[in-house]
């Protein structure tokens, strides 16, 4: 088995998939791509999904959960719209999601339960079903395996660039591909924000195994990501496996660990892209906590720091205010001795044993001025570590979100 390598490609690079995108008129901007479809040629396509843990759940999440259960983890098509979340829209919103699945099924001659749906955009605004239903037949006719790059653009809202990653490897002489696209820039705080991710592969893998591998990959990637601490109503990560590569991923076999490594890499790459593209963000920040007593303590501290507006604004201003970092660790609920703690920006120590490390101010500002940086907190309490990706908070974040609906 070869290592996974990044290649140029798109969501339809894995065998058996076709995709298309169109401007259905959901977004206010004329001609803006806002509706996408992905379809599989294989009737035995496996599917797995991870969804928001928010108590308030969008209509498409309800429908996709139900369809995955009814189909026993099978799927032939995915339809996603941007510009409207179809959340907090009551029975009409649920009816729109169901009608979308039925219209797609009719256009592709498949069963409605084999269609998954997703939405992203403004919450609480009715989604005009007629716009989607009118566009679906033409969208289905335009499905192609040649270039699915427009799909990554069609799911964007406040994103500044499309997020796509494609990996290739070989298993027993057969080429296997993993492809993924994601969107998200604000309302990002998945505990499985608005965050969407869609993954395709031509590996032959059963629904149960795919779900287990996806769950593990999400836990180490999208669930280690925060932009603003808000968890969306629409979080969705869906993985589809056509099985057309003729190489099987078998539970208990080394192929399972190999495929897990590939999906981990894909999801982590997309998670970093989302953090880098946080609304108004200028810097990608990796928060690392080492030497905690327990994994839970490490995770609590890393999340508290990554979500702290004071820490994030200090990073935006290249201000080496390490006291804010230690303060966030202190209110996280984790147990540690403050006078054992060391704090670093990249390799530069700002704090040693809970006290100022006597660092050079100019050197610290230079480190904080980089577009990608590591904020490391060493607790010296135990063996547990944690890592969270986040970004800085700038004035642009306020500007974007103060007028999001308009």
Token look-up 């206010």 returns 28
122: phi then psi, degrees, rounded to nearest 5: -70, 135
Cα–Cα distance for residue pair 101/117, rounded to 1 Å: 7
Annotated active-site residue 194? The verdict is yes
Specify the pairing of strand 342-345 against strand 372-378. Answer: antiparallel
3 state SS of 400: helix
Catalytic residue among 13, 45, 100, 194: 194
Tokens, residue 307: 């979500």
DSSP 301: H
C-alpha distances out from residue 80 to 118, 184, 238, Å: 5, 14, 11
Tokens, residue 152: 């990554």
80 sits in which H/E element: strand 77-84
10 Å Cβ neighbour count for 331? 11
Token look-up 């205010």 returns 321
Q: Is 220 exposed, middle or buried (CB count within 10 Å of its CB: 0-12, 13-18, 19+)?
A: middle
3 state SS of 18: strand
Cα–Cα distance for residue pair 38/93, rounded to 1 Å: 22
Specify the pairing of strand 196-201 against strand 236-241. Answer: parallel
94 sits in which H/E element: helix 90-108
Query: Given CA atoms 72, 74, 77, 81 in this order, what sign does their dihedral have?
Result: positive
Cα–Cα distance for residue pair 216/288, rounded to 1 Å: 20
Q: Quick one: which of 241, 198, 243, 204 has its CA closest to 78?
A: 198
Cα–Cα distance for residue pair 202/313, rounded to 1 Å: 43
Cα–Cα distance for residue pair 21/155, rounded to 1 Å: 9
Q: List, by residue number, the catalytic residues.
A: 194
């Amino acid at each position: 088995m070869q290592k996974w390598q990044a290649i140029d490609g798109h969501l339809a690079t894995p065998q058996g998939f076709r995709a298309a995108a169109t401007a259905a008129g959901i977004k206010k901007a004329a001609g803006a791509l806002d509706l996408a479809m992905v379809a599989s040629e294989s009737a035995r396509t496996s599917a797995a999904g991870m969804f928001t843990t928010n108590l308030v759940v969008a209509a498409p999440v309800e429908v996709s959960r139900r369809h995955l259960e009814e189909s026993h983890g099978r799927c032939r098509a995915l339809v996603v719209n941007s510009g409207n979340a179809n959340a907090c829209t009551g029975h009409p919103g649920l009816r729109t999601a169901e009608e979308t699945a039925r219209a797609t099924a009719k256009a592709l001659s498949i069963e409605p339960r084999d269609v998954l749906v997703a939405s992203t955009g403004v919450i609480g605004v009715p989604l005009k079903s007629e716009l989607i239903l009118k566009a679906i037949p033409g969208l289905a006719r335009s499905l192609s395996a040649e270039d699915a790059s427009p799909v990554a653009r069609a799911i964007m809202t406040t994103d500044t660039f499309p997020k796509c990653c494609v990996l290739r490897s070989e298993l027993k002489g057969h080429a296997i591909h993993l492809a993924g696209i994601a969107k998200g820039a604000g309302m990002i705080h998945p505990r499985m924000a608005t965050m969407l991710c869609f993954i395709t592969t031509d590996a032959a893998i059963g629904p149960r195994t795919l779900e287990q591998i996806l769950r593990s990959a999400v836990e180490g990637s999208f669930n280690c990501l925060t932009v603003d601490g808000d968890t969306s109503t629409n979080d969705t990560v869906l993985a589809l496996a056509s099985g057309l590569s003729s190489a099987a991923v078998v539970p208990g076999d080394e192929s399972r660990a190999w495929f897990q490594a590939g999906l981990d890499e894909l999801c982590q790459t997309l998670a970093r892209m989302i953090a880098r593209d946080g609304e108004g963000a200028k810097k990608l920040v990796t928060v690392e906590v080492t030497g905690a007593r327990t994994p839970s303590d490490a995770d609590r501290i890393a999340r508290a720091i990554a979500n702290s507006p004071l820490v994030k604004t200090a990073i935006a201003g290249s201000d080496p205010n390490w006291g804010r970092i230690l303060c966030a660790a202190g209110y996280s609920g984790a147990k540690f001795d403050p006078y054992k703690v060391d704090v670093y920006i990249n390799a530069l120590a700002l704090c040693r044993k809970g006290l100022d490390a006597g660092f050079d101010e100019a050197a610290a500002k230079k480190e904080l001025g980089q577009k990608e940086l590591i904020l490391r907190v060493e607790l010296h309490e135990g063996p547990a570590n944690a890592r969270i990706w986040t970004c800085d908070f700038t004035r642009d974040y306020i500007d974007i979100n103060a007028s999001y609906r308009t």
